[in-house]
Structure 1
Amino acid sequence: MKIDLPNQSICTVLNRMKFIDDETFQIVSEDGIEKIIHIDDGFKELEFNYRPLFTTSPSEEYMEFHYYTEREFVTAYDSTTWLKRKYQQYKTSYYLKNKRTNTQMYGDLIGFDMSYSYIYTSNSFTYIHWTMIEQISRGELKFSQLDQKCIEQLLLTILPGGNTILHLLCDKEDALIELMQIAHSKDGKILLHMPFIPNIDGETPIHRCIKKSDFKSIDVMLKYLKLYPIDHHSRAIKDLYQSFIDQKLPEFIPYLDSRLLQTQQLRQITKGSLIDDCPEFVVSQLWFDQNTLQEKIMKPKPIENRILCEILDMPGIYHQNDKDFLKFYQSLASTDEPDYFNKKAIQKLIEFNYPLVKEYIIIKLFGPFCVFQLCFSIFQNLVMENKALQGYQQVYFPLLAVNLIFAVYFIHNEIRQFCLQGTKYFQSYWNYIDMIPPLGIFAFTIITVLSEYDYEIDEATKRSIQAITTFFMWFKFLYFLRIFRSTSYLITMIFEVIYDMRFFFAVLLITMIAFGDSFLSISYGNNELDRFTHSFTDSIIYTYRMILGDFETDKFGEVAKPLVIILFLLCTIFNMIVMLNLLIAIISESFARITAKADQAVYQEMASMIAENSYLIPASKKRSYAEQNQYLLIVNDLEQIEIKISEQAMLDQVKNEIMEEIRIVKEQNETMHKTLLEKINLIISENKK
């Protein structure tokens, strides 16, 4: 790795670095990105941290002083600056140096500063601020009684254990919300910086609110957290993204938009000629080698386009080996909030992982299943039906064994998926469809083995198992159509329409039972030969056939025939005309709704496929396809985006013009119609005279 230090004097660079030992050193960039670098391992980045309030502290402090050992002089009375420095040190110790216990953090929170001619106590809190925080948490002190400087100091205070005032106010919803409103303006500006750090136990204020199910406070926090820069809080709450989705927090949707940010380095990359196969995503460190990045995405060319590079401040979650990856995608797959899939952040996270998952679905599921289906169809329709003939008996058991091997392979995949997903495995109807064909093959194999030992199973049972297995073997191809972008939303539409029809089917079933039972009561009054329905189940099927137009009015028997005709008419009018037209309306409404969100449905299907099938990817491939615990850097060709926007704008304009022409024509037709009516009325009145 190369550290990018353009146009900087050696003195200022040395002021921003510190050797930790013979092999590693610590360095901070001009905009506050810290790293620990391992010299003997190719200058590899070991840890990183974005130092808060770096650019708001005394401007370019490192120009005159060594940043880590001899910072600019601050008087003992400047509590605000001391608290800011302790806040910076806490975050550095937590993320850069991985200090996670009270013992490790003790020297960072409580100590003395002997850098100057005087010895100062250098604590992350004062006892008066600690007392005030406790009084506020008990309701004995109000924020209205404090000035802004005092509130700022309370926000910056870090108590033993790493708790802040936000941690202690999680039991006081109103006070917590009031504090955040004081710290931020109504027009979305930060008035007082709000540290949002995990304590020694790894808990942020949001973690504590989740324990108390205080989702109102969490929603308010997200509203203000979206105002903050890269790495202010994102690593601390990334394990909670799935909770935000599951709880349908309204502010999480705009929060996602706010996480596409730029560092000082990225702001400098504004023009360039992107290579033809330029990757849309680059896994990157916060502080990267600019020349290396440009080599990856650009080519030397005199004509340059305007480009925009953004960091997605949702670190680590993009990687399949991240501990929160699976929970995050499972929540996306199961949410009924389509707006998530309109957000660029979610789209890019899905697009980054889907090609790899798709590749292994095709290699490990779709390809083998096509061979499985071919073997099964040959076995079922050719070999099994002609088993007694010469030549077929010799291939019967080998081909059955091949089918059995495929069944074992696919049931093994289902067991692996169950082990990863737990009980959530049973929440997807696709998993039931996946299980039935292998289980059917197992059942048929057992029947075949038993028949070899003269234990015969009745033909109806064998044929039923065969038919069910065949049906689900072919039906599973619908699952694989979800892989492809052009067909995935159609599969979603089919199942969404069926789901929307659930109440209609309930009403239809009740009416079928009502008419069927009535027909059965009358049918029992006839002699056995004249009965037109013979049992309760048969009466329901009889009514269903009647709805579809399959009826014979001359076979209604002789008992209460006028009433049978009346019931027949009511059944055909109500079920055939009213209910079936209602069904068409329901399907049309569902079709319009799903078509309107077709793009969102595609992305949700992709998220579902990722959640269901990430286990197919080998561990070695997961380790190598991208570096872990970094960021997605998204490359945008602004001119191409503008062309797309312009094309859409032109389409919208044409649409508006056509609608306007239609409106004008309608108005002209109405005017002409009115004029003709007036003339006709005038002629009629004159003739009467």
Structure 2
Amino acid sequence: MELMIELSTHFSIFIYKKDPKSTWDGGIRLKNYSEEISKESIALYLCSPNLQRILSYDYKRKLLCIKCTLEPNMKSIELPIANISDDLQYHIDFVSRFRWVSENKFLIASPWGYEKLYEIIDDANLIEIGAGQIPCFSDLSVASQIYFEQESLEIGNLKKRLIRKHQALKRLRSVIGDQDVTKIYETLFSIDYNVEGGKGKFVSDTSFSLFQWNLLDEIKLNQRQAQDLDNSILTELCLNILPGCQTLLHVLQEKPQQLLEIISRISICSDTFEMPFIKDLEGKTPLHYCVENKISTTAELLVEYLSQAPLDHHSRDIIDIIPNLISMQIPSIVKYFDARILQTEQMAQLNRGCIIHSESVDWGMVPSSIWDNSNNIQQKIFVEQGQLKRGQFETEVDLNILDLPHLHQLSHRDCNEFFKALKDIKEESVEFQLFELKSIRMLIEYHWPLTKKFTIKKLWWFFLYLLLFWIYTNFTDTLLVYEDTLSTVIWIMNLVALFLLSGYFLLNECRQISSVGASSYFKDPWNYIDFPPPLIVITIAIVSFAGIDSWEAPFKSVGSLFMWLKLLYFLRLYDSTGYLIRMIVKVIFRMKTFLLLLLITITAVADAFISIQVDDAQEYNGFFGFVWHRIKIFFAAVTQTYFLILGGDQFTVGDGFEIFATFLTIFSTLFVMIVMLNLLISIVGEIYGKVQENMINESYQEKATIISENQYLIPQEELDKISKEPNQLLLIATTKGFKMNATEVEERQDQLLQRIKKIEEILERKLPNEEMKKPVKMQMSRRTGLRSQNTSFQRSTILERQ
């Protein structure tokens, strides 16, 4: 179908349709079409490429909408923007940031330069399919249109030309999502027909200049030093996007000294400049190459540099290698995460409300788009004014966005790898400071309720499993001595139930191996407690049905031990017990060297006792019988020495060696029981102090570990509810007082006490006698004490949060 549009001098619009006989049918005039928004440009950018849809203004509802040109009576589609003003100029400003991409897709940008790509579905609904921040938007915002009729550039205005290429490339690859190489090169290399308003000569408009490309090669080959170039040349050099989508940062990744000189002089972002940090045509940023080639020096420089970047500058391009950067132990990664809590102009205006708190924390967290309807944001994060309950009230709030894409989506691979990296951080490493950061703690707290919920569901099944096993080992197995039908039926039912539950738990462990990988699974000590019980119970069932009674008792004993120890795993979910379990685990791991020394000492004493025992080799059956006997004697002596130092019986020795045996006994009790065991107490005390010092950080790492291990337990439909939109980030709301430090609390306390003192002085002057002053003084003194205690409590609470 061919259509033709006619725009009259009075801004009336007619649509004509061509029939098969090559004649044009009578035009359809669009009614209620806004002349005001048409006056903004002579270009017909309001119509879709096929002329079947047009952007218009609904005067009755006072909003922008998309109408069908061929069927004017069809219901219009409201534009997804915040209608915070009825002023027509407010909506006209949005029109200047609108562009059709195809017949059913369009772009629209926010006042601060965050653009979204929408698709029209079923002629009635809109879905967001892409979004991104426009680089150097302040440079564009001075123009009446950001997509059409842009400012005509002079031939030599290289900086602005390079900035426009960066803007167009990011829009194509990040917002529209088109990675076609041909279209990328068409964007980077084009012809500028608009020089001097279209009157000048045509200019080859490329994303780099040949002179600066050669200059960059000279710096790479050390034929020229970056310090010899002035800032204007370095700025243009940074904006060059070479063939293959490589930038200065790609080229100089192996030259950290040259790179340091450049980035120390050129800020990553300003009103008129933004450093391109993009993927090349192989899908790799400069940081990807640093990780692959293990260039930690350059990686450190780049991470430090990127920590100063604005919102949506690079985060989507490097989020997949964040776990690798943590593993590389780059110190600046701590600063980077601390700097990724950012704010937009829209969020700064939403600064008051009653926060819908997340579970067990003092802040609210919800997935949200960087640019969303203000009403939608308020409904997500604030309690509605008409629904405030007793004790709830509005406060001053800080609304921020966490610029770490996908890390709030447990079903996403990047999120899984990130929590694995958090789990593997060593306490003594610099990266352990990550658990002190607000951004990391909020991510952990966001995922914790859902993980805890489904881990506890698994706990109830384990309680049933443990109960059935306990009944079997203590009651059911002994019922067989009665040899009646009822006892046999109970025995079989118990074993079958245990067998089925063992299969369920074994399947869960296999799912976890598939989720985290075999190498990661078997590195975790807790899995050596999780994996054996179902295997042992299945073995017991097989041995019992096979009638091999001699093997059943050892398996039951080991199975009981592991089953009860597995309870410790679930107790990690709770703060009160998790703290003690972490203490036990750390004591055991830190005692490895001490236990080795203790074992050597016990073995030495045991061997000394064996040497003074009389043993006749002729009493045993040959050489091998005697050797086997001596081996058993040796291990028995080690066991008896262990009990001896705990106050057990003395060894029995041959005649004439009683005095020497007494000496060995005194030595073992003095050295082992007094010296070594007191040393053990000292070690435990030291470990307790360290655990106490890092208690909160270790608690968050424990939660991160459980999230990493147990995310496979969460059903996919639950994960899909968290965030359905691919371009969403985590929106965080905190009260203003949340940032208050101890100094500010003390200042407020002093101000309060001074005010109370002034009131007291006024009352003393006004009241006529001491009898009337006395109760007032007592009451004021009481309130001062209460306020002082309350403020001290607030100060300690704030310090604990920080």
* TM-score of the two chains, using structure 1 as the length reference: 0.88
**Structure 1 residue identity aligned to 2:340:** R
**Largest Rg, 1 or 2:** 2
Match among 288, 292, 315 for residue 376 of structure 2: 292
Q: Which fold has the larger relative contact order, with Cα–Cα distance below 8 Å and residues 6 or more apart in sequence?
A: 1
Which secondary structure state, in structure 2, belongs to the residue aligned with residue 43 of structure 1? Answer: strand
Against the structure 1 CA distance between its residues 616 and 77, is the aligned structure 2 distance closer, same or farther, given a 3 Å change threshold?
same
Contact 1:520/1:533, CA 8 A, preserved across alignment: no
- Between the aligned partners of 2:271 and 2:594, the Cα distance in structure 1 is 52
Correspondence for 2:311: 230
The reply to whether residue 545 of structure 1 matches residue 629 of structure 2 is: no
Contact 1:113/1:122, CA 8 A, preserved across alignment: yes
Q: What displacement does 1:5 show?
A: 5.1
Runs of 4+ aligned structure 1 residues displaced above 4 Å come to: 188-192, 275-279, 525-528, 531-534, 640-649, 651-655
The reply to whether residue 3 of structure 1 matches residue 81 of structure 2 is: yes
Contact 2:315/2:405, CA 8 A, preserved across alignment: yes
Which secondary structure state, in structure 1, belongs to the residue aligned with residue 284 of structure 2? Answer: coil
Residue correspondences, number: 640
Q: Which deviations, in whole Å up to 9, do the C-alpha atoms of 1:366-408 show, x marking residues without a partner?
A: 1111111111111111010221224322211111000000000
- Between the aligned partners of 1:388 and 1:520, the Cα distance in structure 2 is 44
Correspondence for 1:327: 417
Q: What displacement does 1:513 show?
A: 1.1
Q: What displacement does 1:486 show?
A: 2.4
Correspondence for 2:622: none
Match among 602, 605, 608 for residue 512 of structure 1: 602
Q: What displacement does 1:272 show?
A: 2.4
Against the structure 1 CA distance between its residues 275 and 328, is the aligned structure 2 distance closer, same or farther, given a 3 Å change threshold?
closer
Correspondence for 2:178: 99
- Between the aligned partners of 1:124 and 1:420, the Cα distance in structure 2 is 43
Which secondary structure state, in structure 2, belongs to the residue aligned with residue 135 of structure 1? Answer: helix
Contact 1:532/1:556, CA 8 A, preserved across alignment: no
**Structure 2 residue identity aligned to 1:329:** F
Which secondary structure state, in structure 2, belongs to the residue aligned with residue 61 of structure 1? Answer: coil
- Between the aligned partners of 1:464 and 1:277, the Cα distance in structure 2 is 48
Q: What displacement does 1:76 show?
A: 1.1
Q: What displacement does 1:627 show?
A: 2.7
**Structure 2 residue identity aligned to 1:346:** I
**Structure 1 residue identity aligned to 2:474:** N
Structure 1: any 5+ residue segments left out of the alignment?
656-689
Q: What displacement does 1:341 show?
A: 1.1
Contact 1:143/1:179, CA 8 A, preserved across alignment: yes
Correspondence for 1:419: 514
Contact 2:613/2:654, CA 8 A, preserved across alignment: yes
Correspondence for 2:468: 375
- Between the aligned partners of 2:170 and 2:159, the Cα distance in structure 1 is 17
Q: What displacement does 1:532 show?
A: 13
- Between the aligned partners of 2:579 and 2:168, the Cα distance in structure 1 is 50
Which secondary structure state, in structure 1, belongs to the residue aligned with residue 128 of structure 2? Answer: strand
The reply to whether residue 48 of structure 1 matches residue 126 of structure 2 is: no
Q: Which deviations, in whole Å up to 9, do the C-alpha atoms of 1:176-204 show, x marking residues without a partner?
A: 2222222249xx99996422111122211
Against the structure 1 CA distance between its residues 157 and 189, is the aligned structure 2 distance closer, same or farther, given a 3 Å change threshold?
closer
Note the 1:51-200 alignment, pairs <5 A: 51-55=134-138, 57=139, 60-62=141-143, 64=144, 66-115=145-194, 116-117=197-198, 118=200, 119-184=202-267, 193-200=274-281
- Between the aligned partners of 2:285 and 2:231, the Cα distance in structure 1 is 24
- Between the aligned partners of 1:113 and 1:518, the Cα distance in structure 2 is 95
- Between the aligned partners of 1:565 and 1:191, the Cα distance in structure 2 is 88
- Between the aligned partners of 1:305 and 1:614, the Cα distance in structure 2 is 35
The reply to whether residue 388 of structure 1 matches residue 481 of structure 2 is: yes
- Between the aligned partners of 1:342 and 1:653, the Cα distance in structure 2 is 18
- Between the aligned partners of 1:144 and 1:83, the Cα distance in structure 2 is 23
Correspondence for 2:735: 637
- Between the aligned partners of 1:620 and 1:181, the Cα distance in structure 2 is 48
Q: What displacement does 1:12 show?
A: 2.0
Match among 279, 295, 305 for residue 214 of structure 1: 295
**Structure 2 residue identity aligned to 1:561:** E
Contact 1:61/1:72, CA 8 A, preserved across alignment: no
Correspondence for 1:680: none
Contact 1:61/1:71, CA 8 A, preserved across alignment: no
- Between the aligned partners of 2:794 and 2:148, the Cα distance in structure 1 is 61
* TM-score of the two chains, using structure 2 as the length reference: 0.76
Q: What displacement does 1:152 show?
A: 0.4
Against the structure 1 CA distance between its residues 654 and 77, is the aligned structure 2 distance closer, same or farther, given a 3 Å change threshold?
closer
Note the 1:337-348 alignment, pairs <5 A: 337=427, 338-348=432-442
Which secondary structure state, in structure 1, belongs to the residue aligned with residue 102 of structure 2? Answer: coil
Correspondence for 1:254: 335
Contact 1:523/1:533, CA 8 A, preserved across alignment: no
**Structure 2 residue identity aligned to 1:421:** V
Q: Which deviations, in whole Å up to 9, do the C-alpha atoms of 1:252-300 show, x marking residues without a partner?
A: 1111110000011111112223458897111100111101211331332
Match among 337, 350, 354 for residue 273 of structure 1: 354
Identity of aligned residues (%): 30
Correspondence for 2:459: 366
Correspondence for 1:669: none
Match among 475, 493, 499 for residue 589 of structure 2: 499
- Between the aligned partners of 2:258 and 2:567, the Cα distance in structure 1 is 56
Q: What displacement does 1:628 show?
A: 4.3
Contact 1:244/1:252, CA 8 A, preserved across alignment: yes
Q: Which deviations, in whole Å up to 9, do the C-alpha atoms of 1:485-535 show, x marking residues without a partner?
A: 32222211110110011100011011111111111111136999xx99971
Q: What displacement does 1:640 show?
A: 5.9
Against the structure 1 CA distance between its residues 181 and 191, is the aligned structure 2 distance closer, same or farther, given a 3 Å change threshold?
farther
- Between the aligned partners of 2:570 and 2:244, the Cα distance in structure 1 is 51
- Between the aligned partners of 2:133 and 2:424, the Cα distance in structure 1 is 34
- Between the aligned partners of 2:511 and 2:451, the Cα distance in structure 1 is 16
Correspondence for 1:477: 567
Contact 1:219/1:250, CA 8 A, preserved across alignment: yes
Which secondary structure state, in structure 2, belongs to the residue aligned with residue 47 of structure 1? Answer: strand
Note the 1:271-670 alignment, pairs <5 A: 271-274=352-355, 280-296=364-380, 297-300=382-385, 304-337=394-427, 338-363=432-457, 365-389=458-482, 390=484, 391-422=486-517, 423-451=519-547, 456-458=548-550, 461-524=551-614, 535-552=633-650, 555-629=652-726, 630-639=728-737, 642=740, 646=745, 650=792
Q: Which deviations, in whole Å up to 9, do the C-alpha atoms of 1:416-461 show, x marking residues without a partner?
A: 111122221111111121111111111111112211xxxx352xx3
Correspondence for 1:36: 117
Which secondary structure state, in structure 2, belongs to the residue aligned with residue 577 of structure 1? Answer: helix
**Structure 1 residue identity aligned to 2:495:** L
- Between the aligned partners of 1:533 and 1:617, the Cα distance in structure 2 is 52
Which secondary structure state, in structure 1, belongs to the residue aligned with residue 261 of structure 2? Answer: helix
Correspondence for 2:39: none
Which secondary structure state, in structure 1, belongs to the residue aligned with residue 481 of structure 2? Answer: coil
Contact 2:227/2:261, CA 8 A, preserved across alignment: no
Which secondary structure state, in structure 1, belongs to the residue aligned with residue 385 of structure 2? Answer: coil
Contact 1:357/1:610, CA 8 A, preserved across alignment: yes
Correspondence for 1:678: none
- Between the aligned partners of 2:358 and 2:95, the Cα distance in structure 1 is 39
Which stretch has the larger CA shift, 157-166 or 645-654? 645-654
Correspondence for 1:664: none
Contact 1:230/1:261, CA 8 A, preserved across alignment: yes
Match among 104, 116, 131 for residue 23 of structure 1: 104
Match among 8, 13, 19 for residue 94 of structure 2: 13
Aligned CA RMSD, in angstroms, stands at 2.7
Against the structure 1 CA distance between its residues 142 and 275, is the aligned structure 2 distance closer, same or farther, given a 3 Å change threshold?
closer
Higher helix content, 1 or 2: 1
- Between the aligned partners of 1:308 and 1:34, the Cα distance in structure 2 is 24
